[in-house]
Amino acid sequence: MADAAPADVKKLSFERAMEELETIVKRLEDGKVPLEESVAIYERGEALKRRCEDLLRQAEARVDKITTDAQGQPVGTEPLDVQ
């Protein structure tokens, strides 16, 4: 991560954002990162967490619940009751 400029968080896929977030968490837990760098990577971690949450909300909004008739046959879809 220190070698190249970090990617724009808003352009990252869910998987890539999670991967980077996990790396940040490991580095912070290791405790060997200087304070100033710890603050910077923590802030990036917060941005990555928000990106993952946003992408999950978007995915949930697209999920439909399949409705069935009395015989159990699919007859259509309705919006997933997200709460």
Using N-to-C axis directions, what is the helix angle for 35-62 and 14-30, rounded to 10°? Answer: 150
Residue with tokens 């980077």: 20
Per the structure block, which two tokens stand in for 78? 């309705």
Tens of pLDDT along 37-81? Answer: 999 999 999 999 999 999 998 887 776 666 667 777 777 766 666
Domain ranges of the chain: 9-79
Q: What is the dihedral of CA 51, 55, 56, 59, to 10 degrees?
A: 180
Tens of pLDDT along 11-49? Answer: 999 999 999 999 999 999 999 999 999 999 999 999 999
